[in-house]
Chains A and B, each alone.
Chain A
Amino acid sequence: MDLSRRHLLAGLGSAPVLLSASAAMAQGIQPKRGGVLNVILNPEPPVLQIGINNQTPTLIQGTKITQGLLKFSPTLEPMPELAKSWTVSPDGLVYEFKLQENVKWHDGRPFTADDVIFSVMSFNKEVAPRLRGVIAGIAEATAPDPHTARFVLKQAFQPFLLCFDATALPMVAKHVYDGTDFRANPANARPIGTGPFKFVEWQRGNFVRMERFDGYWKPGQPYLDGILWRVIPDGQSRRLAIQSGQVQMTTATDIEPFDIPALRQAPNLDVVTKGWEYFSPLFWFEVNHRIKPFDDKRVRQAMSMALDRNFIVNRLWFGLGKAATGPISSTTRFHDPSVKLAPFDMNKAKALLDEAGVRANAQGVRGSFKYVIPPYGEIWNRMGEYFRQAMRQIGFEVTLESTDAGTWASRVANWDYEATSNVLYQFGDPTLGVERSYVTSNIQKILFTNTAGYSNPKVDELFAKARTSGNEAERKAAFSEVQKLLVEDMPLLWVVEVNYPTVTDKRLRNAVQLGTGNHASFDDVFLA
């Protein structure tokens, strides 16, 4: 192979180096060695191995133990992790990763390209539903030498590199998993990885203990002696724990938005909202298109116009995010800033409903429907209450229904709902995280598919084109077109691009640097 003829993508890694290696040094702070970091783990995951379980807390704690080949900057540029460099052939078919040398598993065995091939082609192929299609597109996976892994694709797939983050394609040890039932492997509860921290102890319902891995491949790192993950199931108790300094970090949904203003004032704490660029969680209200009048796009447009997104962001989320402008978040690739939602306007909304033939009766009521509140915390209740108020203004009577996780999942999956809300991750590229909610082929009786039942052949065609095209400009054009169509059709009522808060003790450094935020190895995190 002639290296020079290949598009050398590894050079892109140079931009983020200044981020990764030592943001602390840049600030003139010498990393301090030692100390144990206490972090809240909530809810407690059923197993600790990424891939076997992909709940947010599993991913946040698991990324300290298990690593990926790449990691991603806030602008979604790939950065070296277990791969020190990589090349992509000009036709976008051949991806070759050069691996770091001297990487060891926590049990002392060396990490090699065989582990990479096994992780992708066996382990993740079976356990990762989201990437099954991507892995099925790999024609050939080989390890030409112990420190090179090579993937040949059947056809070009631009978001391929984005899949090599630890949260998507985690690298697991072949000698631990090969030939076993992956989901029943005892290592799922005592993971073995290549990361800076090794698993020590898990007292269920209480804590998970990790300690510094002395054989970690970056010399002198990690700085922390260990991490203690404390299980605290009650939201107010979590807030008191961070406020009183008993823990030094909370992540994701640990703290309810309404507690954030007080924590921002606390002298010992920092509140950071960066670090969600890779996931770009998008909150939306969802109506079931199979139920009249939600099949009429004018009705959905009118409902969207009745939502004051700025009010929602400022008063319900307390600034933890920004108003959504369409189906693709502003932090996801191919977001088209020229696409805009129709502005908040109650009168226009009512006029549009009249035009659609959904008229008010003598009492001013146009119809009534039920809204299933997802059972994931207080903010979901408040969003439901806001939705009811907003809909009442345009003549819809909404009844709120409370559920538990099992009931909500089963009702949405079985299309047994009229309206609800949801948050979905976008994973950096619309093909990976946006397409699934809109294409006809993904109308399934399964959560996180196109459960609303939206179908538009033109949209299907554009998403398909963007998925298979190896040409960046072509994809960009297709996605711009899709965003215009979707904003017109309003299949879902996008509301907030959510930025969950990371609350840290002021002494904690480097906790949020990547586009994946806390989903990082923490090998350069320290307590000053």
Chain B
Amino acid sequence: MSRLPGFLLRRALKSVVVILAIVVCNFLLIHAAPGDPAMVMAGQSGSADPQYMEQLRRQFGLDRPLIEQLWIYLKGVLHLDLGFSHRQQVGVAQLILDRLPATLLLTGMAFAIAISGGVTLGALAARRVGTWADSVITVIALAFYATPLFWVGLMLVLLFSVHLEWLPSFGMTDPGLNQEGFALWLDVAKHLVLPAVTLGLFYLAVYARLTRATMLEVADQDFVKTARAKGVPEGRVLRAHVLRNALLPVITFAGIQAGQLVGGSILVETVFAWPGIGRLAFEALLARDYQVLMGVFFITSVMVVLFNLLTDLLYALIDPRVEMA
């Protein structure tokens, strides 16, 4: 572990360069899209004149040369200032921070459902490979993997909100109730069920399939046969020998997914009117709210880089043969 500080330093330096490159690419890509925020606003307002367009563009700083706008933005990012949404009249950091808890709650819960459920089901299927239990799990996983998220979401709403009236179909709280403390917590939990399950089911399917496949692959290997031959109980063989070795690809995938948790899920957030970052970014894209979009991209890219680093560290922990380089 003595190589850890050097490893971290090198990776951190690389990460900064990568993130800056991402910021510049994002900036250029976003500005290459046709139209600008002033035009979108005019389009939404149903009327405009040259003076109005000019005022808006000046206010948004769009009257300056692109390279100068990029320089201003980069300077801001280096000072950890994500800029200001002139369209919404709020600082970008504020907008993102307001949305972050909702997103992390949703994606975190979905992540937990997906990993715990997926690995368990995958392991079960692998253990009973070829039996009816395996078939049922495989078919269900395939179905959830192949079904569009929004459709699953709408069907769940139809069943649980419209017909059974058990769960609310949209939003994060019921603002009409003015609740506090435990009641509020319970209300959020009720609102969370459908979106988290919808989002979780898709990834659950991925993890189940991944776990099953890699466990079957590992189960055939010599060291497993050796373990069985020397009389290790079957349950322990599966847990300590098969599952542990099969987890590496799962962790790789989980690492990638964890990096994206902050980005939220545009589809699920839209269907369930969940006030998260995915929608913030999507709406910013449509409105050409450049600063907000770049802010979300910036935070997401930092997270992806961070979680990649974490994943690498985790590999070494689970499998000592993997070295840090």
> A207 interface residue, CB < 8 Å from B?
yes
Residue of B with least CB distance to A201: B175
A299 to B41: give the CA distance in the assembly, Å: 33
Name the A residues within 8 Å of B59 (CB-CB): 183-184
B220 contacts the other chain (CB 8 A): no
A406 to B36, CA, bound (A): 6
Binds B, one of A114-122, A237-245, A360-368, A473-481: A237-245
Contacts A/B (CB < 8 Å), 20 sampled: A43-B283, A44-B283, A47-B88, A53-B44, A129-B47, A183-B89, A184-B89, A228-B175, A233-B270, A233-B273, A233-B279, A405-B40, A405-B43, A405-B286, A406-B33, A406-B34, A406-B40, A409-B39, A409-B40, A436-B47
Provide the residues of chain B in CB contact with A230, threshold 8 Å.
170-171, 175, 273
Contact of A241 among B47, B50, B170 (CB under 8 A): B170
Q: Please report the C-alpha to C-alpha distance between residue A129 and residue B90 in the assembled complex, in whole angstroms.
A: 24
Chain A: interface residue count, which band? Answer: 35 or more
Contact of B276 with A by CB under 8 A: yes
Binary flags per residue of A175-186, CB closer than 8 Å to B gives 1, else 0: 000000001101
Interface residues of B in 53-109 (CB under 8 A from A): 53, 55, 59, 85-90, 95, 98-99, 102
Question: In the complex, how many angstroms separate the beta carbon of B227 from the nearest chain A beta carbon?
Answer: 51
Does A11 count as interface, using CB distance less than 8 angstroms?
no
B48 interface neighbour in A126, A184, A201, A446, Cβ under 8 Å: A446
Does B51 lie within 8 Å of A129, measured CB to CB?
yes
Report the separation of the CA atoms of residues A234 and B171 in the bound assembly, to the nearest whole angstrom: 12
A410-B139 Cα distance, complex, nearest whole Å: 47
Residues from chain A with a CB closer than 8 A to the CB of B35 are 405-410
Q: Is the CB of B154 within 8 A of A447?
A: no
A232 with B273, Cβ < 8 A, contacts A54-B47, A240-B169, A241-B170 known:
yes
Residues 1-57 of A contacting B (Cβ, < 8 Å): 36, 38, 43-44, 46-47, 53-55
Given contacts A205-B280, A233-B270, A234-B273, 9 further A-B contacts (CB under 8 A): A54-B47, A183-B86, A189-B88, A204-B275, A205-B279, A206-B172, A232-B171, A240-B154, A408-B43
Task: Collect the chain A residues with CB atoms within 8 Å of residue B47's CB.
Answer: 54, 129-130, 436, 448
Contacts of B154 in A (CB 8 A): 236-237, 240
In contact, A55 and B275 (Cβ under 8 angstroms): no
Cβ of B272 < 8 Å from any Cβ of A?
yes
Expressed in whole angstroms, the minimum distance between the Cβ of B52 and any Cβ of chain A is 4
> Which residues on B sit within 8 Å (CB–CB) of A231?
273, 275
Which residues of A, 373-418, contact B by the 8 Å Cβ criterion? Answer: 375, 404-411, 413
Which residue of the partner chain, among A126, A188, A206, A446, contacts B42 with CB atoms under 8 Å? A446
Interface membership of B306, Cβ < 8 A: no
A75 within 8 A of B: no
CA separation between A425 and B42, bound complex, in Å?
A: 14
- A409 to B154 alpha-carbon distance, docked (Å): 31
**Docked-complex contact B89 and A46, CB < 8 angstroms:** yes
- Give CA–CA (A126, B49) in the complex, Å: 11
Cβ of B270 and Cβ of A234 under 8 Å apart?
yes
- Decide yes or no whether A147 CB sits under 8 A from chain B: no
Q: Which residues of A contact B283 (CB under 8 A)?
A: 43-44, 233
- Which residues 1-49 of B have a CB within 8 angstroms of A? 33-36, 39-49
Instruction: Give A136-154 as 1s and 0s: 1 = Cβ < 8 Å from B's Cβ atoms.
Output: 0000000000000000000
Residues of B within 8 A of A236 (CB): 154, 271
Q: For residue A126, which residues in chain B have a CB less than 8 angstroms away from its CB?
A: 55
Q: Are A132 and B49 in contact, CB atoms less than 8 angstroms apart?
A: yes
